[in-house]
Amino acid sequence: MTLNQTDFEKFFHPAHTAIIGVSAGDYKFGGTSFLMKLKQGGYPGQLYPINPKANEIQGLKAYPDLLSLPVVPDLAIVCVAAGFVPAILEDCARIGLGHIHILTSGFKETGLAEGKLLEERIVAIAREKGLKIIGPNCMGPYCPGAGLTAWGAIPGLSGSVGIISQSGGLTQRLTEYTSSLGIGVDKAVSFGNAAVLDSTDFLSMMGQDDNIRVIAMYLESVKNAPKLLQITKAVNQYKPIILWKGGESPAGAATATSHTGAMAGSQKLWQAFYRQTGVTRVSSMNECVDALMAFSLLPAPAGNGVFLIGGGGGNSVAYSDTFSRQGFEVPALSATTMDFLRRSVPTAGSIAGNPLDMWRTFIDADYLAQVLELGYGDPAVSIILVDRLIPRTAYHFPDLADPTPATLAYLKNRQPAKPTVFSIDSDGGDPQLADTGARLRAQFCKAGIPAYPSAGRAARALHHLYHYHVRQKREDGSAADLKTNS
């Protein structure tokens, strides 16, 4: 089945949605919970609950089957037991309903012959009738801009991120995590067993989608490795792809088989895949979201020279080591920058240079703006990290107004061309510190300034950003050389 972007429109912007398998009783995961969440999220389209034993469900007219509907829905969400799914698909084909999400599990992921045969039957019907199917065993499509938020962050935040994942739970968590930081999602899909539509279909679609600027993927396996290689390599040249590969350990690979019924694949083959495609490889939820934040909010860095601004001699040493380990330089600053710092930084108890150890940057937004301006004009500097300590009892902070609003206003008006991120010291076991740090991070991120809970996480995210653009420049240069020599 050859698909283009318009073939997916009804999955993500359905005007009419049928939910097959909605209980008329109390809350139950599946059709009932999907119906409730769609209503809660403000889905603007028409909802048609299907239950042969009910006339009304949650204030909506219920229908005994798809054949009884007054219209042909754009999307069907199938939540009945696995054995009934083939008959539902036949009904979909009979009325011309071609876009189907199968939430139901109980197929090849069970490892049982019956489940495998049922999934093969799904594939056969889809091929014969031309049905487009997401799943089975998955949470399906998610699109905040269309009010299609039956799971994940509800009502969600629309933005420029695309998410493709075999795991429903991880897809859901990614939408919640990014939304809490002000990083919106345009489309997400949990595709489970990938009986009909696979990761390559959704990657090709999101690669063509102008609303999506960066794509995050969680994969446990792939059915067509050469196709994935080809599409990933092409899309990653103009749109960053962040890949979290599950099942890299023997235990993870075994779990992946029981999760989606798929084999995780050879690590040597995946290593070759990373080299050939240049995708950004991550290995955790935090690293994935940190990279998404960097790619979504920051311009391309011109070089790898980092200006570290903050306070504390120990932090200055530790941050220098952290960024050096990620391949960055902490360069000497220009004469103009150093002249200002020597005049404004006390000789005792501070360090004028790079890193800059100067507590005034924590409490004086105007002074921080002056230092940032010098960094933006300094040819040795391509990236800036500002350490933002959280005032607390342990520190001898004066009782002054919070400088954060003034700092954010300056950065918003300045729109710096050099990537600028904040490190907010909130890692550790102090719950009050963690809570304050999370709220402060969200405040910065929602203003368009990436903020990380540690310098280490900031450095890793900037490493991904820098190396993606280095590769792009190298490939662009190679292409230009080929054109010149041809």
Q: Which among 102, 58, 52, 97 is positioned nearest to 82, based on CA atoms?
A: 102
What's the mean pLDDT in 10-17? 98
- For residue 438, tell me if it sits in a domain: yes
pLDDT range class, residue 24, cuts 50, 70, 90: confident
Structure tokens that stand for 139 in this block: 């949470």
Determine the average pLDDT of the residues in 100-114: 95
pLDDT of residue 434: 87
Out of 222-226, 293-297, 392-396, pick the least confident.
392-396
CA atoms within 13 A on the CB side of 145: 16
Res 250: pLDDT: 54
User: In terms of domains, do 376 and 429 share one?
Assistant: yes
In a domain, 486, yes or no: no
Do 272 and 130 lie in one domain? The reply is: yes
Q: What is the CATH number of the domain that holds 399?
A: 3.40.50.261
My answer on whether 93 and 31 are in the same domain is yes
457 and 357 belong to one structural domain: yes
Cα separation, 95 vs 449, in Å, equals: 49
Instruction: Supply angle C-alpha 400, 364, 412, rounded to 5.
Output: 115
CB atoms within 10 A of CB 81: 11
Based on the domain organization, do 250 and 306 belong to the same domain? Answer: no
Work out the average pLDDT over 128-148: 97
Task: Please check whether residues 467 and 323 belong to one and the same domain.
Answer: yes
Looking at per-residue confidence, does 259 or 217 come out higher?
Answer: 217
Lowest mean pLDDT among 85-99, 209-223, 260-274, 398-412: 260-274
End-to-end CA distance of the chain: 37
Whether residue 234 is found in the same domain as residue 306: no
Whether 191 and 307 map to the same domain: the answer is no
Instruction: Please check whether residue 485 lies inside any domain of the structure.
Output: no
Q: What is the pLDDT of residues 338-392, one digit of tens each?
A: 999 999 988 776 788 999 998 888 889 999 999 999 999 999 999 999 998 887 7
Share of the chain above pLDDT 90, in %: 77
What pLDDT is attached to residue 43? 97
pLDDT band at 483 (very low <50, low <70, confident <90, very high): very low
- Would residue 91 count as lying in a domain? yes
* pLDDT single digits (tens) 169-213: 999 999 999 999 999 999 999 999 999 999 999 999 999 999 999
Q: What is the pLDDT of residue 433?
A: 84
Using alpha carbons only, give the angle 168, 6, 161 rounded to the nearest 5 degrees. 45
Q: Residue 51 pLDDT more than 80? A: yes
**pLDDT exceeds 50 at position 424:** yes
CA dihedral for 97, 103, 106, 108, sign (positive or negative): positive
Domain boundary among 279, 294, 309: 294
Q: Global pTM?
A: 0.92
What local confidence, expressed as pLDDT, does residue 396 receive? 67
The last residue of one of the domains, among 264, 294, 324, is 294
Among 258-262, 331-335, 406-410, 443-447, the minimum mean pLDDT is found in 258-262
Report yes or no: 467 and 300 within 8 Å, Cβ to Cβ: no
Task: Give 1's pLDDT tier (boundaries 50, 70, 90).
Answer: low
Bridge pairing between strands 161-165 and 46-50:
unpaired
Domain presence at residue 484: no
At 360 the pLDDT is 86
Task: Give the pLDDT of residue 26.
Answer: 78
The predicted structure's pLDDT at residue 179: 96
Mean pLDDT, rounded, of the chain: 91
Residue 99 located in a structural domain: yes
The model's confidence at residue 401, banded by pLDDT at 50, 70 and 90, is confident
Are residues 345 and 215 both part of a single domain?
A: no
Q: Tell whether 173 is covered by a domain.
A: yes
443 or 477: which leads in pLDDT: 443
State residue 263's pLDDT score.
43
Rounded Cα gap, residues 180 and 171, in angstroms: 14
Whether residue 283 sits in one domain with residue 314: no
Looking at the structure, do residues 265 and 348 belong to the same domain, yes or no? no
pLDDT confidence of residue 261: 47
What residue numbers bound the domain in which 208 lies?
Answer: 5-294
Same domain for 311 and 290? no
Q: Which of 294, 323, 338 is the last residue of a domain?
A: 294
- The reply to whether 412 falls in a domain is yes
Q: What is the pLDDT of residue 478?
A: 54
Q: How many domains does the chain have?
A: 2
